[in-house]
Amino acid sequence: MSDLTKLTLEAALAGMAAGDFSSEELTKAHIDACMDGADLNAFITTTFEDAIESAKASDARRKSGEVGLLEGAPLGVKDLFCTEGVKTTAGSKILGDFAPPYESSVTANMKADGMVMLGKLNLDEFAMGSSNETSHYGPVINPWRKGEDLVPGGSSGGSAAAVGADMCLGATATDTGGSIRQPASFTGTVGIKPTYGRCSRWGVVAFASSLDQAGPIAKTVKDSAILLESMAGYDPKDSTSLNIDVPKWSESCGKSVKGLRIGIPKEYSIDGMPGEIQSLWDQGIAWMKDAGAEIVPITLPHTKYALPAYYVVAPAEASSNLARYDGMRYGLRVDGKDLTDTYDRTRTEGFGKEVRRRIMIGTYVLSAGYYDAYYLRAQKVRTRIVQDFENAWQTCDAILTPTAPSAPFAVGRKLNDPVKMYLNDIFTVTTNLAGLPGISVPAGLDADGLPLGLQIIGKALDEDTVFKAASALEKAAGFTAKPEKWWK
Protein backbone atom coordinates (compact mmCIF):
# COMPACT_ATOMS: atom_id res chain seq x y z
CA MET A 1 0.00 0.00 0.00
CA SER A 2 1.26 3.47 -0.84
CA ASP A 3 2.08 5.86 1.96
CA LEU A 4 -1.32 6.74 3.42
CA THR A 5 0.09 9.81 5.11
CA LYS A 6 0.64 11.45 1.73
CA LEU A 7 -3.09 11.56 1.13
CA THR A 8 -5.20 14.63 1.46
CA LEU A 9 -8.16 14.47 3.82
CA GLU A 10 -10.49 14.43 0.83
CA ALA A 11 -8.63 11.51 -0.74
CA ALA A 12 -8.41 9.62 2.54
CA LEU A 13 -12.15 9.96 3.12
CA ALA A 14 -12.76 8.75 -0.42
CA GLY A 15 -10.35 5.86 0.04
CA MET A 16 -12.14 4.71 3.17
CA ALA A 17 -15.48 5.10 1.45
CA ALA A 18 -14.24 2.97 -1.44
CA GLY A 19 -12.98 0.38 1.00
CA ASP A 20 -9.37 0.79 -0.15
CA PHE A 21 -8.21 0.97 3.44
CA SER A 22 -9.69 1.21 6.89
CA SER A 23 -9.53 4.00 9.39
CA GLU A 24 -7.45 1.71 11.54
CA GLU A 25 -4.84 1.35 8.78
CA LEU A 26 -4.93 5.05 8.06
CA THR A 27 -4.62 5.88 11.74
CA LYS A 28 -1.74 3.49 12.31
CA ALA A 29 0.14 4.97 9.37
CA HIS A 30 -0.26 8.42 10.90
CA ILE A 31 0.73 7.22 14.34
CA ASP A 32 3.94 5.89 12.81
CA ALA A 33 4.50 9.25 11.16
CA CYS A 34 3.91 11.00 14.48
CA MET A 35 6.44 8.76 16.19
CA ASP A 36 8.93 9.33 13.41
CA GLY A 37 8.46 13.05 13.78
CA ALA A 38 8.79 13.20 17.54
CA ASP A 39 11.76 15.55 17.21
CA LEU A 40 9.56 18.20 15.67
CA ASN A 41 7.91 18.42 19.08
CA ALA A 42 4.55 19.02 17.47
CA PHE A 43 2.58 17.15 20.12
CA ILE A 44 2.30 17.88 23.81
CA THR A 45 0.16 14.83 24.47
CA THR A 46 -0.43 11.88 22.18
CA THR A 47 -3.50 9.69 22.48
CA PHE A 48 -2.47 6.89 20.14
CA GLU A 49 -4.17 4.06 21.98
CA ASP A 50 -7.45 5.92 22.11
CA ALA A 51 -6.96 6.83 18.46
CA ILE A 52 -6.73 3.18 17.45
CA GLU A 53 -9.83 2.42 19.49
CA SER A 54 -11.74 5.27 17.85
CA ALA A 55 -10.51 4.18 14.44
CA LYS A 56 -11.84 0.67 15.05
CA ALA A 57 -15.12 2.10 16.25
CA SER A 58 -15.23 4.27 13.15
CA ASP A 59 -14.66 1.28 10.91
CA ALA A 60 -17.51 -0.51 12.66
CA ARG A 61 -19.78 2.49 12.18
CA ARG A 62 -18.88 2.66 8.54
CA LYS A 63 -19.85 -1.01 8.15
CA SER A 64 -23.24 -0.25 9.61
CA GLY A 65 -23.64 2.58 7.13
CA GLU A 66 -23.10 5.39 9.58
CA VAL A 67 -20.60 7.77 8.01
CA GLY A 68 -19.84 11.21 9.39
CA LEU A 69 -18.24 14.11 7.60
CA LEU A 70 -14.80 13.28 9.04
CA GLU A 71 -15.43 9.57 9.45
CA GLY A 72 -12.27 7.79 10.47
CA ALA A 73 -9.91 10.66 9.70
CA PRO A 74 -6.87 10.89 12.01
CA LEU A 75 -6.54 14.51 13.02
CA GLY A 76 -4.69 16.61 15.57
CA VAL A 77 -6.16 19.03 18.07
CA LYS A 78 -4.43 22.19 19.19
CA ASP A 79 -3.89 21.92 22.92
CA LEU A 80 -6.02 24.99 23.50
CA PHE A 81 -9.21 22.97 22.98
CA CYS A 82 -10.44 21.23 26.10
CA THR A 83 -10.78 17.51 25.51
CA GLU A 84 -12.66 15.42 28.01
CA GLY A 85 -10.38 13.35 30.19
CA VAL A 86 -7.30 14.28 28.16
CA LYS A 87 -4.74 16.63 29.64
CA THR A 88 -5.17 20.14 28.27
CA THR A 89 -2.28 22.52 28.82
CA ALA A 90 -2.66 25.60 26.59
CA GLY A 91 1.12 25.22 26.30
CA SER A 92 1.44 26.50 29.84
CA LYS A 93 2.89 25.13 33.02
CA ILE A 94 0.11 26.76 35.01
CA LEU A 95 -2.53 24.25 33.98
CA GLY A 96 -0.45 21.46 35.47
CA ASP A 97 -2.10 18.13 34.76
CA PHE A 98 -5.51 19.68 34.21
CA ALA A 99 -7.77 17.15 32.54
CA PRO A 100 -11.05 18.83 31.70
CA PRO A 101 -14.24 16.98 32.57
CA TYR A 102 -15.73 18.43 29.39
CA GLU A 103 -15.18 18.60 25.65
CA SER A 104 -14.98 21.82 23.63
CA SER A 105 -17.92 22.32 21.27
CA VAL A 106 -15.64 22.37 18.23
CA THR A 107 -13.93 19.06 19.02
CA ALA A 108 -17.27 17.59 20.11
CA ASN A 109 -18.65 18.46 16.65
CA MET A 110 -15.65 16.80 15.04
CA LYS A 111 -15.88 13.70 17.21
CA ALA A 112 -19.57 13.45 16.37
CA ASP A 113 -18.51 13.58 12.72
CA GLY A 114 -16.14 10.65 13.17
CA MET A 115 -12.77 12.33 13.88
CA VAL A 116 -9.98 10.13 15.21
CA MET A 117 -7.91 12.30 17.55
CA LEU A 118 -4.20 11.56 17.50
CA GLY A 119 -3.32 13.91 20.30
CA LYS A 120 -2.93 17.47 21.50
CA LEU A 121 -0.72 19.75 19.47
CA ASN A 122 1.89 22.14 20.75
CA LEU A 123 1.34 25.88 20.67
CA ASP A 124 2.63 29.13 22.02
CA GLU A 125 1.67 29.47 25.67
CA PHE A 126 -1.98 30.55 25.79
CA ALA A 127 -1.65 31.13 22.05
CA MET A 128 0.55 34.14 22.70
CA GLY A 129 3.29 34.10 20.13
CA SER A 130 4.11 33.95 16.46
CA SER A 131 6.85 31.34 16.50
CA ASN A 132 5.74 28.62 18.89
CA GLU A 133 8.74 29.36 21.06
CA THR A 134 6.80 30.45 24.14
CA SER A 135 5.39 26.99 24.85
CA HIS A 136 6.26 25.55 28.22
CA TYR A 137 6.66 22.29 26.32
CA GLY A 138 9.44 23.61 24.15
CA PRO A 139 9.54 25.05 20.64
CA VAL A 140 8.06 23.25 17.68
CA ILE A 141 10.49 22.75 14.81
CA ASN A 142 9.34 23.59 11.31
CA PRO A 143 9.56 20.52 9.06
CA TRP A 144 10.96 22.84 6.39
CA ARG A 145 14.42 22.88 7.96
CA LYS A 146 17.21 24.16 5.83
CA GLY A 147 20.42 23.59 7.73
CA GLU A 148 19.12 25.09 10.96
CA ASP A 149 16.03 24.79 13.12
CA LEU A 150 13.30 27.10 11.91
CA VAL A 151 10.15 28.15 13.68
CA PRO A 152 6.84 26.87 12.31
CA GLY A 153 5.13 30.16 13.13
CA GLY A 154 2.60 30.49 15.88
CA SER A 155 0.67 30.17 17.87
CA SER A 156 -0.72 27.11 16.08
CA GLY A 157 2.82 25.91 15.34
CA GLY A 158 2.19 22.34 16.40
CA SER A 159 -0.88 22.11 14.17
CA ALA A 160 0.95 23.57 11.17
CA ALA A 161 4.07 21.45 11.64
CA ALA A 162 2.08 18.24 12.12
CA VAL A 163 0.03 18.82 8.97
CA GLY A 164 3.07 20.04 7.03
CA ALA A 165 4.99 16.91 8.03
CA ASP A 166 2.09 14.57 7.13
CA MET A 167 1.63 13.49 10.72
CA CYS A 168 -2.09 14.08 10.54
CA LEU A 169 -4.60 14.77 7.78
CA GLY A 170 -5.55 18.09 9.30
CA ALA A 171 -5.70 19.82 12.64
CA THR A 172 -7.68 22.30 14.64
CA ALA A 173 -6.10 25.64 15.31
CA THR A 174 -7.07 29.03 16.65
CA ASP A 175 -6.37 32.50 15.40
CA THR A 176 -6.36 35.64 17.53
CA GLY A 177 -4.04 37.79 15.44
CA GLY A 178 -2.90 35.42 12.72
CA SER A 179 -2.19 32.23 14.63
CA ILE A 180 -3.72 29.97 11.98
CA ARG A 181 -2.66 31.76 8.84
CA GLN A 182 0.91 32.75 9.66
CA PRO A 183 1.99 29.20 10.67
CA ALA A 184 0.14 27.86 7.62
CA SER A 185 2.23 30.22 5.49
CA PHE A 186 5.41 29.08 7.29
CA THR A 187 4.73 25.38 6.70
CA GLY A 188 3.26 25.19 3.22
CA THR A 189 -0.21 24.38 4.51
CA VAL A 190 -3.65 25.94 4.21
CA GLY A 191 -5.22 27.67 7.20
CA ILE A 192 -8.51 29.50 7.46
CA LYS A 193 -9.84 31.71 10.19
CA PRO A 194 -13.58 31.96 9.59
CA THR A 195 -15.84 34.88 10.43
CA TYR A 196 -15.87 35.60 14.15
CA GLY A 197 -18.76 33.66 15.65
CA ARG A 198 -18.70 30.77 13.14
CA CYS A 199 -16.92 28.38 15.51
CA SER A 200 -17.97 28.14 19.11
CA ARG A 201 -15.43 29.36 21.63
CA TRP A 202 -16.99 27.17 24.33
CA GLY A 203 -14.30 24.94 25.76
CA VAL A 204 -11.45 26.69 23.99
CA VAL A 205 -9.03 28.22 26.47
CA ALA A 206 -9.52 31.95 26.00
CA PHE A 207 -6.73 34.30 25.02
CA ALA A 208 -8.56 37.42 23.78
CA SER A 209 -12.27 36.71 23.62
CA SER A 210 -13.28 39.33 21.08
CA LEU A 211 -10.59 38.16 18.64
CA ASP A 212 -10.21 34.40 19.20
CA GLN A 213 -11.62 32.21 16.51
CA ALA A 214 -11.05 28.56 15.75
CA GLY A 215 -10.37 27.16 12.31
CA PRO A 216 -8.50 24.33 10.63
CA ILE A 217 -5.03 23.86 9.22
CA ALA A 218 -5.09 21.44 6.31
CA LYS A 219 -3.18 20.26 3.29
CA THR A 220 -5.52 21.75 0.68
CA VAL A 221 -8.17 24.43 0.43
CA LYS A 222 -10.87 21.81 0.02
CA ASP A 223 -9.63 19.88 3.06
CA SER A 224 -9.83 23.08 5.06
CA ALA A 225 -13.40 23.59 3.86
CA ILE A 226 -14.39 20.05 4.88
CA LEU A 227 -12.83 20.51 8.31
CA LEU A 228 -14.45 23.90 8.82
CA GLU A 229 -17.85 22.49 7.90
CA SER A 230 -17.46 20.11 10.80
CA MET A 231 -16.00 22.61 13.26
CA ALA A 232 -18.43 25.46 12.65
CA GLY A 233 -22.00 25.73 13.82
CA TYR A 234 -24.25 27.55 16.20
CA ASP A 235 -23.68 26.91 19.88
CA PRO A 236 -26.12 28.36 22.41
CA LYS A 237 -23.40 28.03 25.06
CA ASP A 238 -21.38 30.78 23.38
CA SER A 239 -23.19 34.13 23.41
CA THR A 240 -21.10 35.32 20.47
CA SER A 241 -21.90 32.28 18.34
CA LEU A 242 -23.76 33.07 15.13
CA ASN A 243 -27.09 31.35 14.76
CA ILE A 244 -26.87 30.69 11.03
CA ASP A 245 -26.49 27.63 8.85
CA VAL A 246 -23.14 26.21 7.86
CA PRO A 247 -22.93 26.13 4.06
CA LYS A 248 -21.32 23.29 2.12
CA TRP A 249 -18.09 25.21 1.65
CA SER A 250 -16.31 22.25 0.07
CA GLU A 251 -18.64 22.72 -2.88
CA SER A 252 -17.44 26.29 -3.38
CA CYS A 253 -13.90 25.07 -3.92
CA GLY A 254 -13.00 24.98 -7.57
CA LYS A 255 -15.85 27.22 -8.67
CA SER A 256 -15.04 29.92 -11.20
CA VAL A 257 -13.84 33.30 -10.02
CA LYS A 258 -14.79 34.95 -13.29
CA GLY A 259 -15.89 38.49 -12.62
CA LEU A 260 -14.92 38.33 -8.97
CA ARG A 261 -13.47 41.66 -7.90
CA ILE A 262 -10.23 41.16 -6.00
CA GLY A 263 -9.05 44.16 -4.00
CA ILE A 264 -5.34 44.89 -3.65
CA PRO A 265 -4.70 47.16 -0.65
CA LYS A 266 -1.79 49.47 -1.27
CA GLU A 267 -1.06 49.77 2.43
CA TYR A 268 0.09 46.15 2.56
CA SER A 269 3.28 47.07 0.70
CA ILE A 270 5.26 47.78 3.80
CA ASP A 271 8.78 49.06 4.23
CA GLY A 272 11.36 46.37 4.63
CA MET A 273 9.22 43.60 3.20
CA PRO A 274 11.41 41.07 1.35
CA GLY A 275 11.28 41.49 -2.41
CA GLU A 276 10.30 37.86 -2.75
CA ILE A 277 7.09 38.47 -0.89
CA GLN A 278 6.23 41.45 -3.05
CA SER A 279 6.88 39.43 -6.18
CA LEU A 280 4.84 36.49 -4.90
CA TRP A 281 2.01 38.90 -4.26
CA ASP A 282 2.36 40.28 -7.80
CA GLN A 283 2.34 36.71 -9.04
CA GLY A 284 -0.86 36.06 -7.10
CA ILE A 285 -2.49 39.10 -8.68
CA ALA A 286 -1.55 37.80 -12.12
CA TRP A 287 -2.94 34.35 -11.29
CA MET A 288 -6.24 35.78 -10.19
CA LYS A 289 -6.44 37.93 -13.29
CA ASP A 290 -5.72 34.89 -15.47
CA ALA A 291 -8.49 33.03 -13.69
CA GLY A 292 -10.92 35.72 -14.76
CA ALA A 293 -11.05 37.89 -11.66
CA GLU A 294 -11.05 41.63 -11.88
CA ILE A 295 -8.23 43.31 -9.97
CA VAL A 296 -9.19 46.45 -8.08
CA PRO A 297 -6.76 48.68 -6.24
CA ILE A 298 -8.19 49.54 -2.82
CA THR A 299 -7.13 51.45 0.22
CA LEU A 300 -7.28 50.32 3.85
CA PRO A 301 -5.81 53.46 5.37
CA HIS A 302 -5.73 52.33 9.01
CA THR A 303 -3.81 49.14 8.34
CA LYS A 304 -0.67 50.32 10.10
CA TYR A 305 -2.63 50.93 13.30
CA ALA A 306 -4.10 47.45 13.41
CA LEU A 307 -1.13 45.86 15.10
CA PRO A 308 -0.69 48.44 17.86
CA ALA A 309 -4.48 48.38 18.45
CA TYR A 310 -4.28 44.62 18.67
CA TYR A 311 -1.46 44.85 21.20
CA VAL A 312 -3.74 46.88 23.44
CA VAL A 313 -6.98 44.93 23.02
CA ALA A 314 -5.53 41.42 23.12
CA PRO A 315 -3.37 41.84 26.23
CA ALA A 316 -6.20 43.71 27.99
CA GLU A 317 -8.65 40.87 27.45
CA ALA A 318 -5.95 38.32 28.18
CA SER A 319 -5.01 39.94 31.49
CA SER A 320 -8.59 39.37 32.61
CA ASN A 321 -9.08 35.98 30.94
CA LEU A 322 -5.96 34.62 32.60
CA ALA A 323 -6.94 35.80 36.09
CA ARG A 324 -8.67 32.46 36.70
CA TYR A 325 -5.34 30.67 36.69
CA ASP A 326 -4.69 31.33 40.33
CA GLY A 327 -3.87 27.92 41.75
CA MET A 328 -7.08 27.66 43.76
CA ARG A 329 -9.36 25.28 41.86
CA TYR A 330 -7.26 23.48 39.26
CA GLY A 331 -3.82 23.45 37.74
CA LEU A 332 -0.56 24.39 39.36
CA ARG A 333 -0.39 25.69 42.93
CA VAL A 334 2.92 26.85 44.32
CA ASP A 335 2.47 27.23 48.05
CA GLY A 336 3.69 30.48 49.53
CA LYS A 337 3.76 31.90 53.02
CA ASP A 338 0.20 33.19 52.73
CA LEU A 339 -2.59 33.58 50.19
CA THR A 340 -1.09 36.53 48.34
CA ASP A 341 2.27 34.84 48.19
CA THR A 342 0.64 31.67 46.88
CA TYR A 343 -1.09 33.65 44.15
CA ASP A 344 2.14 35.41 43.22
CA ARG A 345 4.29 32.30 43.18
CA THR A 346 1.75 30.23 41.32
CA ARG A 347 1.30 32.80 38.60
CA THR A 348 4.91 33.85 38.38
CA GLU A 349 6.18 30.29 38.13
CA GLY A 350 3.18 29.06 36.16
CA PHE A 351 3.24 31.64 33.36
CA GLY A 352 6.13 32.09 30.98
CA LYS A 353 7.84 35.37 30.24
CA GLU A 354 5.78 36.44 27.22
CA VAL A 355 2.50 35.66 28.94
CA ARG A 356 3.57 37.61 32.02
CA ARG A 357 4.62 40.49 29.79
CA ARG A 358 1.23 40.58 28.08
CA ILE A 359 -0.66 40.31 31.36
CA MET A 360 1.31 43.31 32.60
CA ILE A 361 0.63 45.34 29.44
CA GLY A 362 -3.04 44.39 29.60
CA THR A 363 -3.29 45.33 33.25
CA TYR A 364 -1.60 48.63 32.54
CA VAL A 365 -3.80 49.66 29.63
CA LEU A 366 -6.96 48.93 31.62
CA SER A 367 -5.83 50.59 34.81
CA ALA A 368 -7.24 53.82 36.15
CA GLY A 369 -6.01 56.79 34.22
CA TYR A 370 -4.90 54.81 31.17
CA TYR A 371 -8.11 53.12 30.06
CA ASP A 372 -9.25 55.98 27.83
CA ALA A 373 -5.84 56.67 26.39
CA TYR A 374 -5.11 53.07 25.47
CA TYR A 375 -8.01 50.64 25.64
CA LEU A 376 -10.83 52.92 24.60
CA ARG A 377 -8.71 54.50 21.88
CA ALA A 378 -7.71 51.08 20.54
CA GLN A 379 -11.35 50.02 20.39
CA LYS A 380 -12.13 53.17 18.42
CA VAL A 381 -9.25 52.48 16.05
CA ARG A 382 -10.80 49.06 15.65
CA THR A 383 -14.00 50.71 14.48
CA ARG A 384 -11.91 52.68 11.98
CA ILE A 385 -10.44 49.44 10.65
CA VAL A 386 -13.91 47.97 10.25
CA GLN A 387 -14.94 51.11 8.35
CA ASP A 388 -11.93 50.69 6.06
CA PHE A 389 -13.17 47.25 5.09
CA GLU A 390 -16.74 48.47 4.71
CA ASN A 391 -15.50 51.04 2.24
CA ALA A 392 -13.41 48.46 0.42
CA TRP A 393 -16.41 46.18 -0.04
CA GLN A 394 -18.00 48.92 -2.12
CA THR A 395 -15.55 48.11 -4.90
CA CYS A 396 -14.33 44.55 -4.30
CA ASP A 397 -15.58 41.12 -3.21
CA ALA A 398 -12.40 39.78 -1.63
CA ILE A 399 -8.92 41.01 -0.88
CA LEU A 400 -5.59 39.46 -1.78
CA THR A 401 -2.52 40.10 0.40
CA PRO A 402 0.61 38.28 1.50
CA THR A 403 0.01 36.23 4.65
CA ALA A 404 3.18 37.08 6.51
CA PRO A 405 5.96 39.59 5.98
CA SER A 406 8.66 36.93 5.96
CA ALA A 407 9.48 33.29 5.41
CA PRO A 408 10.05 31.07 8.47
CA PHE A 409 13.00 32.27 10.51
CA ALA A 410 15.50 30.59 12.77
CA VAL A 411 14.52 29.51 16.26
CA GLY A 412 15.58 32.14 18.78
CA ARG A 413 16.10 34.93 16.29
CA LYS A 414 13.25 37.27 17.25
CA LEU A 415 12.59 36.05 20.73
CA ASN A 416 14.13 39.00 22.49
CA ASP A 417 12.53 41.74 20.48
CA PRO A 418 8.81 41.66 21.16
CA VAL A 419 7.85 44.36 18.69
CA LYS A 420 9.79 42.65 15.90
CA MET A 421 8.02 39.41 16.79
CA TYR A 422 4.64 41.13 16.83
CA LEU A 423 5.20 42.37 13.26
CA ASN A 424 4.70 38.80 12.04
CA ASP A 425 0.98 39.37 12.33
CA ILE A 426 0.89 42.64 10.46
CA PHE A 427 -1.12 41.28 7.49
CA THR A 428 -3.34 38.91 9.41
CA VAL A 429 -4.40 40.91 12.44
CA THR A 430 -6.76 43.27 10.62
CA THR A 431 -9.24 40.47 9.98
CA ASN A 432 -9.28 39.53 13.66
CA LEU A 433 -10.00 43.10 14.63
CA ALA A 434 -12.80 43.28 12.08
CA GLY A 435 -14.05 39.71 12.62
CA LEU A 436 -13.61 38.80 8.95
CA PRO A 437 -12.66 35.46 7.38
CA GLY A 438 -9.13 35.04 6.07
CA ILE A 439 -7.32 32.11 4.53
CA SER A 440 -3.66 31.45 3.81
CA VAL A 441 -2.79 29.39 0.77
CA PRO A 442 0.75 28.16 0.03
CA ALA A 443 1.79 29.94 -3.14
CA GLY A 444 5.50 29.52 -3.64
CA LEU A 445 8.96 29.07 -2.22
CA ASP A 446 11.52 31.71 -1.45
CA ALA A 447 15.11 31.60 -2.67
CA ASP A 448 15.99 29.30 0.24
CA GLY A 449 13.22 26.91 -0.73
CA LEU A 450 10.99 27.91 2.16
CA PRO A 451 7.23 28.15 1.75
CA LEU A 452 5.37 31.45 1.43
CA GLY A 453 1.63 31.98 1.60
CA LEU A 454 -0.89 34.40 0.18
CA GLN A 455 -3.98 35.48 2.01
CA ILE A 456 -7.54 35.99 0.82
CA ILE A 457 -9.74 38.12 3.07
CA GLY A 458 -13.50 38.02 2.63
CA LYS A 459 -16.60 39.81 3.81
CA ALA A 460 -18.14 38.69 7.06
CA LEU A 461 -19.93 35.35 6.56
CA ASP A 462 -18.74 35.16 2.97
CA GLU A 463 -16.43 32.17 3.37
CA ASP A 464 -17.92 30.98 0.10
CA THR A 465 -16.06 33.60 -1.87
CA VAL A 466 -12.96 33.08 0.23
CA PHE A 467 -12.87 29.38 -0.59
CA LYS A 468 -13.60 30.06 -4.24
CA ALA A 469 -10.77 32.58 -4.55
CA ALA A 470 -8.42 30.47 -2.45
CA SER A 471 -8.89 27.40 -4.56
CA ALA A 472 -8.33 29.44 -7.72
CA LEU A 473 -5.09 30.63 -6.19
CA GLU A 474 -4.19 27.12 -5.13
CA LYS A 475 -4.83 25.78 -8.60
CA ALA A 476 -2.79 28.49 -10.26
CA ALA A 477 0.09 28.17 -7.82
CA GLY A 478 0.20 24.41 -8.18
CA PHE A 479 2.15 24.26 -4.96
CA THR A 480 3.28 20.67 -4.55
CA ALA A 481 6.54 21.12 -2.69
CA LYS A 482 7.00 19.05 0.44
CA PRO A 483 9.71 19.23 3.05
CA GLU A 484 12.28 16.52 2.94
CA LYS A 485 11.66 14.04 5.74
CA TRP A 486 14.96 14.84 7.50
CA TRP A 487 13.43 14.00 10.89
CA LYS A 488 12.78 10.34 10.14
Partner 1 sequence: MSQPKGAVSAEDVKKIARLSRLHVESDRLQPLAEDLNGILAWIEQLNEVDVEGVEPMTSAVDMAAPMRKDEISDGDKRNDILKNAPKKDDGFFVVPRSVE
Partner 2 sequence: MFTAERVGNPRDYIKGETGDWEIIIGLEVHAQVASNSKLFSGSATEYGQAPNSQVSLVDAGMPGMLPVVNEFCVEQAVKTGLGLNAQINLFSRFDRKNYFYVDLPQGYQISQFEHPIVGEGEIDVLPIDADGNTLEPVTVGIERLHLEQDAGKSVHDLSPDETYVDLNRCGVALMEIVSKPDMRSPEEASAYVDKLRGIVRALGTCDGDMEKGNLRADVNVSVRKPGGELGTRCEIKNVNSLRFIRQAINYEARRHIEIIEAGGTIDQETRLFDSEKGETRTMRSKEDAHDYRYFPDPDLLPLKLEQSFVDRVKSELPELPDQIKARFMDQYGLSEYDARILTADKTKSDFYESVAKGRDAKIAANWTMVELFGALNKAGTELEDSPVSADMLGGLIDRIADKTISGKIAKEVFERMFGGEGDADTIIEAQGLKQVTDMGAIEKMVDDAIEANAAQAEKAKDNPKLLGFFVGQVMKASGGKANPQAVNEILRKKLGL
Q: Which residues of the shown chain bind partner 2 in the complex (CB under 8 A)?
A: 81-82, 88, 90, 95, 98, 100-102, 104, 201-206, 208-210, 236-240, 316-317, 319-320, 322-324, 326, 328-330, 339-340, 343, 363, 366-368, 371, 375
Least distance in Å: CB of 324 to partner 1?
Answer: 11
Angle at 196 (CA atoms; ends 136, 130), nearest 5 degrees: 30
* Residue 361's binding partner out of partner 2, partner 1, none, with CB under 5 to 8 Å set by partner kind: partner 1
330 or 487, CB closer to partner 1? Answer: 330
67: amino acid identity, one letter: V
Active site residue 28: no
Active-site residue identified among 22, 28, 58, 78: 78
Least distance in Å: CB of 343 to partner 2?
Answer: 6
Give the alpha-carbon dihedral of 326, 332, 338, 344, to 10 degrees.
Answer: -60
CA–CA distance, 28 with 69 (Å, rounded to integer): 20
Least distance in Å: CB of 167 to partner 2?
Answer: 25
> What's the Rg (C-alpha) of the chain?
21
Active site residue 353: no
Contact characters 294-323, partner 1, x per CB under 8 A: --------x-xx--xx-xx------x---x
Contact characters 231-250, partner 1, x per CB under 8 A: -----x--xx-xx-------
- Contact criterion met (CB below 8 Å) for 73 and 167: no
96 or 247, CB closer to partner 2? Answer: 96
Least distance in Å: CB of 213 to partner 1?
Answer: 8
269 or 367, CB closer to partner 2? Answer: 367
Q: Which of 414, 403, 397 is nearest to 458 (CA)?
A: 397
Least distance in Å: CB of 230 to partner 2?
Answer: 19
Interface residues for partner 1 in 186-225 (CB under 8 A)?
A: 196-197, 210-211
383 binds partner 1 (CB under 8 A): yes
8 or 210, CB closer to partner 2? Answer: 210
Active site residue 179: yes
Q: Which of 223, 244, 250, 220 is nearest to 232 (CA)?
A: 244
- Looking at residue 81, the DSSP 8-state letter turns out to be B
Mapped onto helix, strand or coil, the DSSP state of residue 227 is: helix
13 or 433, CB closer to partner 1? Answer: 433
Least distance in Å: CB of 186 to partner 2?
Answer: 26
60 or 419, CB closer to partner 1? Answer: 419
CA–CA distance, 117 with 473 (Å, rounded to integer): 30
13 binds partner 1 (CB under 8 A): no
CA 362 → CA 127, 129, 374, 425, distances in Å? 15, 15, 10, 18
Binds partner 1 by CB under 8 A, chosen from 154, 158, 215, 327: 327
Binds partner 1 by CB under 8 A, chosen from 335, 390, 448, 484: 335
Binds partner 1 by CB under 8 A, chosen from 56, 146, 255, 377: 377
435 binds partner 1 (CB under 8 A): yes
Residues in the chain: 488
- Segment interacting with partner 1, rule: CB under 8 A, options 122-130, 138-146, 341-349, 401-409: 341-349
Residue 75's DSSP bridge partners are 117
Least distance in Å: CB of 468 to partner 2?
Answer: 30
Give the alpha-carbon dihedral of 321, 77, 310, 380, to 10 degrees.
Answer: -70
CA–CA distance, 49 with 53 (Å, rounded to integer): 6
- Rounded to 10 deg, the angle between the 221-231 and 105-112 helix axes is 110
Active-site residue identified among 104, 156, 179, 471: 179
Helix runs in 85-231, H state only: 105-112, 157-164, 181-187, 221-231
- Contact criterion met (CB below 8 Å) for 153 and 160: yes
Binds partner 1 by CB under 8 A, chosen from 247, 254, 274, 418: 418
* Residue 278's binding partner out of partner 2, partner 1, none, with CB under 5 to 8 Å set by partner kind: none
80 or 150, CB closer to partner 2? Answer: 80
Q: What is the largest CA-CA distance in the chain?
A: 69
- Contact criterion met (CB below 8 Å) for 185 and 443: no
Residue 387, judged by CB atoms within 10 A of its CB (0-12, 13-18, 19+), counts as middle
100 or 265, CB closer to partner 2? Answer: 100
Least distance in Å: CB of 332 to partner 1?
Answer: 8
- List the catalytic residues: 78, 155, 179
